[in-house]
Amino acid sequence: MRYERNQRILTRLLSGVLCGMSFCTLLTAFAGAAEHDQTVAAYLQAGEFQPAVQYANSMTEQSVRDALLKQIAEFQVQHDELDAARATTNRMSRSGERSEVTASRSRSKSLGGGAADFDSLIELIETVVEPLTWEAVGGLGTITEFDTGGGIYVDADGLLSRKMEKQSGSALQDLAKSARIADLNTDMSQPSALRVVSLTRLEQAVRERMESGLPVVESMKNLAGLYRVEHIFIYPETGEIVIAGPAAGWQYTAAGMPVSSTTQWPTLQLDDLVTLLRTYGPEGQRIFGCSIDPRPEGLQELTSYVNESNARGALSPRAVRSWANQLQRKLGLQNVTIYGVPEDSRVARVIVEADYRMKLIGIGEVEGGSKIPDFFELMTAEQAAANGSLDALRWWLSLRCESVLHSSDRDAFRIQESSVLCQSENQFVTAKGERVATGTAEQNNRQFASNLTNNFEELASRDLVFADLQNIFDLAIVSGLISQQQLTERVNWDLGSFASRGEYEPAQYAVPRQVDSVVNHKVFNGKNIVVQVAGGVQVNLTSTLSSIQESSRLDQAAENAQAQNLAPGRWWWDASK
């Protein structure tokens, strides 16, 4: 039964061309036409699918041409380029006629790991590709997985939770057990102090691939390996907007996250850039963020429970665990609110996960390192005695940027020392469970926020969701500057497929709508101190962009970074810093 199901699915994927072949050969390279095999293999290893297809199509003999196309399609399937595989198999002959294949964009992310077995491949196709009327699942697909390696996931009901243990046997884990190095051409894999990516050329290249039914390749998705943005340049005479910063080749972690091969910092993502260009575009809200907040009824129950418990006196050691378990039950779930960006976007998932993990660090549920002690570790017995039974805290993450500089002609911009700022506030809980802002933060609350801010980069190097958050903040500055300085108008570019109603569609993810409550406790001299945390992430560029300053040092920067004699289709280059 399973054999027949697998055969039906793969038949759809490969347009019926490979039906008569044994399954054991479906994931291996075709051995014939040896004189052409090495040429095609070289193109594939460089991620250059279109030249490989063009080379195969140049073969006059049908059997040789089909063999090379089959080799290309299998390579694309093995490397999760499912749209490309469908496009390639459309070019293969079958008794003189071509079968129809449903054209559907992949929602798959790049995965780490080696080649999968056939069953794993089928499961992966069913999971990550947009619905292709899969009979095995009643015609419904699922949304792309998301994993930064931080142990956070969203279930089918939109509940964001911590992974308490690894799930064995899942397709993603089976296919991503070990990191793999991205297949890149030699020059892109080399470290560069200043790599330049032309957004206008990139958009054109992306649009041309989509119009040809080809997927966006990983070099485009990872913005040629950029892991920081330091500059924005415009060239009105050629109609270009470019971004520039340090870059290198990249590899994929076991969780599937692309990270720089030199710094291990996540690469900037095209999907995030497009999402934020739209946020700061004419139809966008020009502000984005998220909030994780307790429900008033749950907070009311929790407050009553804690007060009643403390009124009865100290708990016995045997009663502490049961009492602590009740804290979570009384408070219930917290609501997740996302604004300014699509709820199913990668940007939304990153900011929610980063916010949630920050709160878990603050209450001692996740280790933040020796330089970021949790709230309870900062509290003395004297402070505990002076505190109430329930501390309602608010922590939130926002953008911190030292300055943005511009040249005298405003053709060059430099982002200086952008980072993440953690802010804090103590809140008062009413008898009805409502949180009331106080506008102030007591010492330990301020100290936790200060420690996290001052040691953010070190934390981000260990916990990559925070590094991902930093990248999103950088791209937000880029998008905000492009909008505020009217750079698209100056180069006569309408953003094309990257515009709000453009054809490019970033990947979609399960929407987090609620989370397990962030609450913990500690006993000080028989008194139970309970800490409950709310807050979120907010990116408002008003203050950052209203204080940009002129710097004469940038007057030659754009000219120095400009490409000379760039090959047609090339959208990135390395410049001297």
CA 553/CA 537 separation, integer angstroms: 34
Instruction: Give the CA distances from residue 207 to residues 19, 109, 204, 222, in Å, rounded to whole numbers and listed in that order.
Output: 33, 19, 5, 16
Q: Give residue 298's pLDDT.
A: 87
Structure tokens that stand for 16 in this block: 């019926």
Contact 211, 175 (CB under 8 A): no
Q: What is the pLDDT of residues 119-139, one digit of tens each?
A: 333 343 334 333 333 333 333
Q: Give residue 103's pLDDT.
A: 30
Instruction: Output phi, psi for 8, to 5 deg.
Output: -65, -45
Structure tokens that stand for 145 in this block: 């997985």
Low-confidence residues of the chain: pLDDT under 70 = 1-33, 80, 82-83, 86-87, 90, 93-153, 155-156, 161-186, 315, 386-389, 526-528, 577
**Buried/exposed 312-350: b ≥16 CB within 10 Å, e otherwise:** eeebeeeeeeebbeebbebbbbbebebebbbbbbbbbbb
Closest CA to 113 of 9, 236, 254: 254
Q: Give residue 395's pLDDT.
A: 93
Pairing of strands 390-406, 549-550: parallel
- Assign residue 377 a region (left: φ > 0; alpha: ψ between -120 and 50; beta: otherwise): alpha
Element (DSSP H or E) covering residue 188: helix 186-189
Q: Give residue 373's pLDDT.
A: 95
Q: Give residue 389's pLDDT.
A: 61
Structure tokens that stand for 564 in this block: 């000379």
Contact 396, 445 (CB under 8 A): no
CA 361/CA 372 separation, integer angstroms: 8
pTM attached to this predicted model = 0.73
CA 179/CA 122 separation, integer angstroms: 22
Contact 195, 224 (CB under 8 A): yes
Pairing of strands 288-294, 180-181: unpaired
The single-letter code of the amino acid at 244 is A
Side-chain-side CA neighbours of 515 within 13 Å: the count stands at 30
Structure tokens that stand for 445 in this block: 């609350």
Closest CA to 415 of 490, 477, 326: 477
| First-to-final CA distance of the chain | 61
Q: What is the pLDDT of residues 75-116, one digit of tens each?
A: 887 776 766 776 677 677 643 323 332 233 333 333 223 233
Instruction: Give the CA distances from residue 324 to residues 149, 206, 529, in Å, rounded to whole numbers and listed in that order.
Output: 28, 53, 11
Q: What angle do CA 218, 222, 227 make, to 5 degrees?
A: 155
Collapse the DSSP code of 194 into the 3-class scheme (helix H, G, I; strand E, B; otherwise coil) and give the result.
strand
